[in-house]
Amino acid sequence: MNCSEAQELMGLLINGELSGERARDVRNHFASCDACAAGLTPLQWAEVLPAMDDRLEPSADFVLRFREKLEARREPWWKKLIAWGWPRQVAAAGALATLVLAGIFVIRYPRAPQDPAAYVGDIAVMEKLPFLEDMAVVSNLDLLEDFDTIENLPRLIKEADKN
């Protein structure tokens, strides 16, 4: 590509109307031609940047390293475990043993189902007493707490009988 052709096409490149090999040729020309590059604006330099940037080639061992990674991902879990080394193996074994023991304990000693009434205490118990359905009892609950009278009840009954 000669200079005049490259300069003509720069307008199209800037407007995004040039792509592929043609665009690459224009960029390469400006990146290597001092005379043409002399007149570039900052915006045009930005367009030429891809032709000036580094181009890497894969390292010699790139494929080999990829194969190793691929094998590592594909190998079964127990092989990965072996590759861990003993400190991690011991920690993993300890964690596993704890989980198994906890599981056995839970299965062997399940929590007994609790009576929901136990959570509400004496009130719930009292509510179940059949005599509380008797209005005569309910209306004289104070008497049930008169412990002196209750204690002396046999004597009081005898005295009442005598009279």
Partner 1 sequence: MRMTEETVPEALDADAQLMLRFKAGDTEAFDQLFSKHTRAMINFAYRFVRDRQVAEELAQEIFLRVYEAASGYRVQSRFTTWLYRIATNVCLNEVRKPRFRAAHQPLSGQQAQDPGPVSGRSQNGGPQRLLERQAISRALKEALDRIPEKQRVAFILNKYEELSYAEVAGIMKISEKAVKSLIHRGKETLAQRLRPLMPELLDQ
* Six token digits for residue 154: 């046999």
CA 153 to chain centre: 70
Minimum distance from residue 79 beta carbon to partner 1 (Å): 18
Minimum distance from residue 106 beta carbon to partner 1 (Å): 37
Site string for partner 1, 51-90 (x = CB under 8 A): -xxxxxxxx--xx-xx--xx--x-----------------
Does residue 133 interact with partner 1 by CB under 8 A?
no
Site string for partner 1, 10-39 (x = CB under 8 A): ------x--xx--xx------x--x--xxx
- Spatial neighbors of 29 by CB under 8 A, at least 6 apart, are 1, 3, 6, 36
- Spatial neighbors of 50 by CB under 8 A, at least 6 apart, are 27
Q: What is the DSSP string of 67-93?
A: HHHHHHHHS-HHHHHHTT-HHHHHHHH
Minimum distance from residue 91 beta carbon to partner 1 (Å): 25
Compute the distance between CA of residue 132 and CA of residue 67 in angstroms, rounded to an integer: 83
Q: Which residue number, 73 or 128, has a Cβ lying nearer to partner 1?
A: 73
User: Contact with partner 1 (CB under 8 A): which of 2, 17, 41, 149?
Assistant: 41
Picking from 18, 70, 80, 82, the residue whose alpha carbon sits closest to that of residue 44 is 18
Residues that bind partner 1 (CB under 8 A): 16, 19-20, 23-24, 31, 34, 37-39, 41-47, 49-50, 52-59, 62-63, 65-66, 69-70, 73
